[in-house]
């Protein structure tokens, strides 16, 4: 009787290993690859991004679209007073903007805009090195009208 128990135990162990291996190959579906991506998977393959995010580093010229906010203040005056919130591949990023070259910048406060300029690095006493978009041109996005 002990001999048949050993045989049954060995059989169950081998059968378990074989079934575990087979399940790993096919993942329990016809055609396999139920791990998500690719043909036969239940998730579509992620699409490649057509254009890369703009390079935000000192010396680069960029064009960014986003919401411009003015009237920002900082202890010690370590700010330009303007920030642009723009979408990038990771979500929403915020970049400080120098609007000195823009005549009559106030109407752009709170507006969706397209800003073209170059990235500079400014060294502040408290904040350290900060990347700033030195605006050359600012264009407001066309107003959209809601239809009800």
Domains by residue range for the chain, with CATH: 1-47 (no CATH), 61-140 (2.40.50.140)
Going by pLDDT thresholds of 50, 70 and 90, the confidence category of residue 143 is low
Report the pLDDT averaged over residues 48-72: 79
Query: Is the pTM here over 0.75, yes or no?
Result: no
Query: Is the pLDDT assigned to residue 35 strictly greater than 50?
Result: no
d(CA 88, CA 133): 15
107, 141 in Cβ contact below 8 A? no
* Closest by Cα among 85, 99, 86, 87 to 135: 99
Report the pLDDT averaged over residues 24-43: 47
| pLDDT, tens digit, 9 for 90 and up, residues 80-135 | 999 999 988 888 889 999 999 999 999 999 999 999 999 999 998 888 899 999 99
Quote the mean pLDDT of the chain: 75
33, 25 in Cβ contact below 8 A? no
Helices (H), the chain: 2-26
């Amino acid at each position: 009787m002990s001999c048949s128990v050993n045989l049954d135990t060995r059989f169950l162990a081998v059968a378990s290993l074989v079934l575990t291996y087979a399940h790993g190959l096919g993942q329990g579906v016809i055609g396999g690859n139920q791990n998500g991506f690719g043909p036969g998977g239940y998730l579509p393959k992620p699409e490649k991004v057509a254009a890369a995010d703009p390079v935000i580093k000192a010396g680069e010229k960029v064009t960014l679209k986003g919401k411009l906010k003015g009237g920002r203040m900082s202890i010690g005056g370590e700010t330009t007073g303007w920030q642009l919130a723009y979408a990038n591949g990771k979500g929403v990023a915020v970049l400080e903007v120098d609007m000195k070259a823009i005549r009559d910048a106030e109407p752009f406060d709170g507006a969706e805009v397209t800003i073209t300029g170059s990235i500079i690095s400014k060294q502040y006493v408290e904040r350290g090195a900060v990347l700033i978009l030195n605006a050359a041109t600012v264009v407001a996005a066309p107003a959209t009208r809601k239809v009800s």
